[in-house]
Every structure is written in C-alpha cells, then in structure tokens.
Amino acid sequence: MKGTINIKRQILLPILGASIFFTTASFQNDFFEIAKQIEIFTEMYKQLNMNYVDETNPADLMDNAIEGMLSELDPYTKYWTEQEVEKSIINRRGAYTGIGAVVSTRDDKVIIVEPWKDHPADVAGLKAGDEIIEIDGIKLADYKENAGDLLKGSADTEISIVYKRQGKEKSAKVKRQAVEVNAVPFYEMATPEIGYVVLSKFNEKASRETKAAILALKEKGATKIILDLRGNPGGLLSEAVAVSNLFIEKDKLITSTQSVVEQYNKTYLTKRPAYDPDIPVAVLINGRSASASEIVSGSIQDYDRGVVIGARSFGKGLVQRPKPLSYGTQVKITISRYYTPSGRCIQALDYWNRDEDGNAVRTKKEDYNAFKTVNSGRTVYDGGGVQPDIELESAAYSPITTALLRDNAIFDYATEYYYNHQVTDMDSFRFTDTDFNDFVNWVEKKGFDFNTETESAFAKAFKTAEKEELDDDINSSYKAMQEAINNAKKKDMKDKKAEIMSLLTDEIVKRYFYRDGLYNYQLKFNPEILEAVNVLEDQNKYNRILK
C-alpha cells in the first residue's frame, strides 16, 4: 500500500490538482491539456486498481489522493463527504438532534468537552472529561467510522452509553432531543448602563439574535454595548455584514473580496439603516476570533465606530465557498481574500510561499502595511489579524499557551481540579498563585510534550546526524540542549502566567457552574470585560482612542 501512496503523491496529485479547477479560466485556456491529464488519470487509476500487487481499496485510494492534493493548498480548502455536508448545514442553521454536549475525538477516544445544562447528556449525569467507550453495544475502540455520529439520531430515541470517569467505568441511558444552538448564548447588563452580548458564531441566526439581545438590553436601560467576539471562529460572510450593519449606516462598505476569478471580485455594503448608529460600542477579540469576527471587528475599527479590546485576532483573511460534487459530496474552496473598509487584508499565514519545510510563513511585523481609518485617519495595520486599540495580556494566545490548549493540558487539569476541590460559591472562587504553581508542576509531572519550533529544528538536525552516523558524538550535547529547552519552556509558562491563569479559571468555573455561570463570573472578574466597562464609562477616554 505504501507503494500505491508514493505513486499517488508523485503522479496522481498533480493530475487531480488540474482537474479540480475544471470550470475556471484555466479550463478555457488549456482545454486540451486538462482533457489530456484527466484521461491519463482515469486510465492510471483503473490500471492501479486492476493490477497492483496487493489488493487496493478504490475509495481509500481516491480519498488519499484528494487529501494529498489539498494538503498543498490552504487548510480551509477541504473535501466534504455526505456526512460532512450535513454537518455544515447543521452548523449554518444552528439546530440538530443529539445529546446536547460538545464532544471531541482524541486519539480514537470520544471525550465529553462540555455538557449543556439541562440537556440530555447533563440530565444523564455526564460530565466534562468523561471518555465514552461504548455506544449501544458498539465498542468505540473497534469502530472505524466517526464515532461521534453514533450520538446523533431521531428525537426521543434512547441510547446506552458506557463511559470512563477517573479510571472507573460507568453507564448511562441518554434520550436524544432536538438541540438549538444559539449564535448569542448569553446577554446581560454589565452595569446599569452597559449591556453585554456574547456572539459565539455567525450562523443564519447571528444578526437576528444579536439585534434582539441589544433591544432587550436597551429596554433594561443599556445606553452602551459590549460585543464579545472572543473565541468566535466565524461563519457566514452575509451575517458578518448584517451584524456590522447594526452599528454602521446604510450603503457603507464592510468588506470587499478579490480573486483571480473575476466573478468572485465583489463588494459588500450595508443594506439597511443602522439599528443604532450612535450607541458607544466596545468589541472584545482574541487569538481565536477569526474570519467573520474579524470582518465585524475590522469594520467597526476602520469606521472608528467603536473601541476594540483584547488581543490580536487569528488572522484569517480568506473566503470559502462550497461547490457541489457527485453523490452528495462537496469541495469547499478558498475563492478569494477579503479586505476591510480601509483596504487591509488581515491574513496572517502565507500558504502560497512556504518555508523549506513546507510550512506556511507567518507575516512578520516589519512587513505589515499601514492604513488609515475612514473617519478619523487613525493608523491601522494589515497582515496579522485585527490589532486591538487596547491590548491586554490576559487575552493573548502565546505559542506556549496554544501548545497547552492543543495538548489538552488546561482541559485535563481542570478535570482533575473539579474532582479534587469543592467549589460551591462562584463569587468567592479564585484561581490562586498557589493553584497556578500546582498546574506548572502537574504539567511537568505529566510530561506533556510541547514541541516548539526550536525543538523541531534540533530534532530534525539530530535525525540527520543519525543518518550520517554522527549521533554518538553529539548525543550528550543534544540531551543537554533538550534539558535547556525544557527549562526554558517551564520559565515561559510562568512568563505567560496571566493568559494561562485566565484560561484555567474559565475552564474550571465552567465545570461547576456551566456556561451561563462562566459568563456571569466573567462579568464580575474578567480583565477584558472590566477594561471595556472602564472605557465605556470614561467618555473622554473613549473619544480619545477613536479620534
């Protein structure tokens, strides 16, 4: 099979790469060449499946070929199976039938990440950190498909679940039900005059729910608004324009898209009079605010319409569109780059000019270009996400923090904390310096492996030394270097204490008091929200930032 994959990577992928753009301008210019390559590919695919020394699976071979081809592009251009197409529809509409919990697949394990309060998983007693090992008699270790799909099904149908918690096996029966996923999961008054709205995703209900939340808060006395886009990964471009339109007047440019394909060069203007063009606004963003979140925060910043607070956003300046394929499948293709009203493209990674290891190159700060905001002429920059007007350390995602999140260290520590500590009063809970030191020691004891770019470079060099039979000579030096790097990483964790403690606090509070409890806790203690309140209550400071 390895021989098949090598042939696939060397020969099949370039041919598939040509065929995917069958309807573009290149098709018109190179009709003969495309037809020729498709014919070669078809014949070769048939010959491989008929004659290869070992038995091949035609579907697997094609899936691997498609994945290999797309790996050379950006990570947002993806092939979707029928099931994945259905998932995208669910995400867009914000409703599905299931157990009412966020689940994650980790090393072929299905982990409960967050049960939603009073939904089936919560009613059945499932907790964050539980590992599901069996569903309706099907052992997940032996199940080759997406095990998470077994949790979905018709409303009012019951499933039997066996799960592991703190090393012990338990069982539960869970009755599926229709689950509504709100774009705005929470809104409340932060002060008697300041309303707070969490917008967590840009599905089909985003602008409608945001407007309804603001209306409800204004009826409670809100004369200023905090719009929280932290952790919002984006969604529908049309909804990003509509949310911006709540604060920005009619016929204003919100974003434009540019592509080598002429039909994708478009401008997107606000269509209606602003819901409230004058209400003071503070927008919260962080390193996980992406795409549509950056369109909204970027347009509000470019029109000097509100103050942006937090940490630099993710930097996704690319637009995707799904294109239908045969048998209910789709390919989601990056069709264009988008630009904010001032002309910025905030794309952070360059997938088209990679380094010698094939990795996308991040735009360096010295390469950022300066632009001017529309109304006040303030200087803003492109190239690395939306930079807040007020940056806070607690909102940042440094490489070490990203590594901790990627390796689930913060999640797993919160699970252990939950089972080892009694917390009954949300208002009195604090994650202390002592707790943080315990976390650092726990990480070291667990041996979490955070691979930095420095480590990867040294590891690559050591492998080369092994091939050249030089490893015996440099082995002791390499081990000393590894120890020095590990000590540096431990120091880096302490240097990034503020951002790590903020994430640990949020994860732990959510375990005891669910997501609504977390939002209420943040209203009182979160540094970004407190800073937003401070700015909105100080009209001189607010005006000074914008003008």
Q: pLDDT tens across 207-218, in order? A: 999 999 999 999
**What is the sign, positive or negative, of the torsion defined by CA atoms of 533, 539, 544, 545?**
positive
Residue 382 sits in the same domain as residue 259? yes
Percent of the chain with pLDDT over 70: 88
- Contact indicator for 258, 226 with CB cutoff of 8 Å: no
238 is catalytic: no
For the entire predicted model, the pTM comes to 0.85
The answer to whether residue 473 is domain-embedded is yes
Of 180, 196, 228, the last residue of a domain is 180
Residue-wise pLDDT for 426-440, tens only, equals: 989 999 999 999 999
Q: What is the span of the domain harbouring residue 108?
A: 95-180
**Annotated catalytic residue, options 74, 122, 228, 302:** 302
Residue 147 tokens, joined? 């095990």
Q: Are residues 260 and 385 in the same domain?
A: yes
CATH number at residue 137: 2.30.42.10
Convert the pLDDT of each residue in 380-419 to its tens digit. 998 889 999 999 988 888 888 888 898 899 999 999 999 9
Q: Are 98 and 176 in contact (CB under 8 A)?
A: yes
Residue 236 lies in a domain: yes
Is 54 tagged catalytic? no
**Same domain assignment for residues 330 and 261:** yes
pLDDT of residue 18: 43
Asked about 291 being catalytic, the answer comes back as: yes
How confident is the model over 493-532, as pLDDT tens digits?
888 999 999 999 999 999 999 999 999 999 999 999 999 9
Residues 210 and 127 occupy one common structural domain: no
Per annotation, catalytic residue among 207, 291, 299, 342: 291
Q: Give me the pLDDT at residue 1, please.
A: 44
Residue bearing the bigger pLDDT, 5 or 320:
320
Tell me if 211 is assigned to some domain: yes
Asked if 237 and 268 count as a contact pair (C-beta separation under 8 A), the reply is yes
Domain membership of residue 486 (yes or no) is yes
Taking alpha carbons only, the member of 51, 56, 59, 43 closest to residue 11 is: 43
430 with 500, same domain: the answer is: yes
Claim to verify: residue 468 and residue 382 sit in the same structural domain? no
The count of domains in the chain is 3
Q: Among the options 224, 316, 332, 510, which is catalytic?
A: 316
CB under 8 Å to 69, separation ≥6 — which residues? 13, 16, 17, 20
Nearest partner of 317 among 296, 285, 345, judged by Cα:
345
Q: Which of 408, 301, 403 is nearest to 344 (CA)?
A: 301
Amino acid at 458: F
